[in-house]
């Protein structure tokens, strides 16, 4: 086994680290406090190829592989989780699905501006009454005589919804067929019939804008159907597999940031005449934090490598996402505990890491859903 990274992978990791340390981390506290979308920083990520890492150069992207994506995502997330959320949606949920299922015209029209950072993309699957049960959707698309569709309905928890120009939308075209009656569409939010709801007041990743969206007699042309009619559920599940690698990477970045802060603290903070890092209970926490962090990274890199080989990676992605997200929650919890009162104070970023980590156990499939995916793949039982 070769654990070495290529020169290109290390280069994009270095670019991501530099932007994260010089631009993102210094502004993270401000954006978290005010809940403002960090548009200038996101444009900078796009200008440096980080909004379309796996997008081929002919569509405006960096043309790199999934391992490079993981390395870059970890660095951005270590700078600020909210920025990495926006980056993950653009890379994993928006561009990935269109690259896999889209026509040449769709790739040029929708992928290029997202990959280049001149526009923001979003992914609309969840509805107010349906979370993990994606097939229970009520958003409907009715086919017209000319092949176009009229869409009506609501979607909720749409990351980047308040600022997105283009959206990959999933709507029911034939309710009698259940999952096979769902179709994917490419939405231009500048067209009539599209409406944005209130921005959600979230616990964490507060600079990542999230809202409800609504369609009222929104007309979408036949050429803006992604894939074929009735393939929407299949597309969504494939895209979510890729998204889980992104969220695992995000969780690792958050956990690493908390771990590194904790390492510094236990060396400097003294109690009872000695650095608290000399106390055995603190040392045990540090050891467990490091093991969970490295295990998460290795599982995520494995999932990315399998994806890059063109093989099925659903199980690997679920394992990486489950392990990394729960490790991030545990590590940030322990980091706050070790820092004591200072960990609970907004004067340090530990409480933000703790708040940000929680969402990684929820979106792109909850921890409970990941366990179902893994168990069903292992047993073959449904």
13-70 pLDDT, tens digit per residue, is 999 999 999 999 999 999 999 999 999 999 999 999 999 999 999 999 999 999 999 9
Q: What is the pLDDT of residue 382?
A: 85
Q: Which segments of 237-311 are extended strands (E)? A: 270-271, 274-275
Distance, CA of 266 to CA of 269 (rounded, Å): 5
Residue 153 banded pLDDT, cuts 50, 70, 90: very high
Angle of CA points 118, 358, 94, to nearest 5°:
25
Mean pLDDT across the stretch 336-362? 97
pLDDT in tens, 90-133: 999 999 999 999 999 999 999 999 999 999 999 999 999 887 78
Per-residue model confidence (pLDDT) at position 374 = 98
What is the Cα–Cα distance from 130 to 233, expressed in whole angstroms? Answer: 14
Which residues, at least 6 apart from 166, have a Cβ–Cβ distance to it below 8 Å? 94, 110, 113, 114, 119, 120, 121, 122, 186, 187, 188, 189
Express as a percent the part of the chain with pLDDT over 90.
96
Strand ranges for 103-181 from DSSP E: 121-124, 140-143, 149-159, 166-172
Distance CA 126, CA 27 (A): 30
SS3 state of residue 212: strand
Instruction: Answer for the pair 308, 255: CB distance below 8 angstroms, yes or no.
Output: no
pTM of this prediction?
Answer: 0.96
Distance CA 139, CA 127 (A): 8
- Tokens at residue 130, please? 């349906």
List 47, 364, 368, 378, catalytic entry: 364
Say how far apart CA 235 and CA 239 lie, in whole Å. 6
Domain boundaries, the chain: 7-120, 122-232, 233-379
Averaged pLDDT for residues 198-210: 95
Percent of the chain with pLDDT over 70: 100
- Tell how strand 149-159 and strand 182-188 pair up: unpaired
- Does the domain spanning 122-232 belong to CATH 3.60.40.10? no
The reported pLDDT for the residue numbered 136 is 86
Do 20 and 2 meet the contact criterion of CB atoms below 8 Å apart?
no
Q: Say how many CA atoms lie within 13 Å of 179 toward its Cβ.
A: 7
Q: Is the pLDDT of residue 295 over 90?
A: yes
CA distances from 168 to 15, 90, 101, 164, 261 (A): 28, 11, 12, 10, 38
Using CA of residue 242, residue 245, residue 247, residue 253, what is the dihedral sign? negative
Is 364 considered catalytic here? yes
Domain at 7-120, CATH homologous superfamily: Acyl-CoA dehydrogenase/oxidase, N-terminal domain (1.10.540.10)
What is the average pLDDT score of the chain?
96
| Confidence tier at 134 by pLDDT (50, 70, 90) | confident
Give the pLDDT of residue 316.
Answer: 98
Q: How many Cα atoms are found within 13 Å in the side-chain-facing hemisphere of 220?
A: 29
β 166-172/182-188 pair status: antiparallel
pLDDT at residue 129 in the model: 85
Q: Does domain 233-379 have CATH number 3.40.50.720?
A: no
DSSP type of residue 191: S
- Alpha carbon distance 349, 357 (integer Å): 12
Query: Taking 80 as the threshold, does the pLDDT of residue 337 lie above it?
Result: yes
């Amino acid at each position: 086994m070769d654990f070495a990274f290529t020169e290109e992978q290390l280069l994009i990791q270095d670019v991501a680290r530099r932007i994260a340390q010089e631009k993102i981390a210094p502004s993270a506290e401000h954006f978290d406090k005010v809940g403002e979308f960090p548009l200038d920083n996101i444009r900078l990520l796009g200008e440096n190829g980080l909004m379309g890492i796996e997008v081929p150069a002919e569509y405006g992207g960096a043309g790199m592989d999934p391992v490079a994506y993981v390395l870059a995502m970890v660095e951005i997330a270590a700078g600020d989780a909210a920025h990495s959320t926006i980056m993950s949606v653009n890379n994993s949920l928006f561009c990935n699905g269109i690259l896999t299922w889209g026509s040449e015209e769709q790739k040029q029209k929708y992928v290029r501006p997202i990959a280049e950072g001149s526009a923001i993309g979003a992914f609309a699957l969840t509805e107010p009454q349906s979370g993990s049960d994606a097939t229970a959707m009520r958003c409907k698309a009715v086919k017209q005589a000319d092949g176009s569709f009229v869409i009506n309905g609501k979607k909720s928890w749409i990351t980047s919804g308040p600022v997105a120009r283009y959206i990959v939308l999933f709507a029911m075209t034939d309710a009698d067929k259940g999952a096979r009656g769902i179709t994917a569409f490419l939405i231009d939010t500048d067209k009539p019939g599209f409406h944005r709801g209130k921005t959600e007041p979230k616990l964490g990743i507060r600079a990542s804008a999230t809202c409800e969206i609504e369609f009222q007699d929104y007309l979408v042309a036949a050429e803006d159907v992604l894939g074929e009619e009735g393939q929407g559920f299949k597309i969504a599940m494939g895209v979510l597999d890729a998204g889980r690698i992104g969220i695992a990477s995000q969780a690792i970045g958050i956990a690493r940031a908390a771990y590194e802060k904790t390492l510094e603290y236990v060396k400097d903070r003294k109690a009872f005449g000695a650095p608290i890092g000399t106390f055995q209970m603190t040392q045990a926490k540090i050891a467990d934090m490091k093991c969970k962090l490295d295990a998460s990274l290795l599982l995520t890199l494995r999932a990315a490598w399998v994806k890059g080989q063109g093989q099925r990676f659903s199980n690997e992605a679920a394992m990486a996402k489950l392990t990394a997200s729960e490790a991030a929650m545990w590590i940030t919890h322990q980091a706050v505990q070790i820092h004591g009162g200072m960990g609970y104070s907004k004067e340090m970023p530990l409480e933000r890491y703790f708040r940000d980590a929680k969402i990684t156990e929820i979106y792109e499939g909850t921890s409970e859903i990941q366990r179902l995916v893994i168990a069903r793949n292992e047993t073959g039982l449904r």
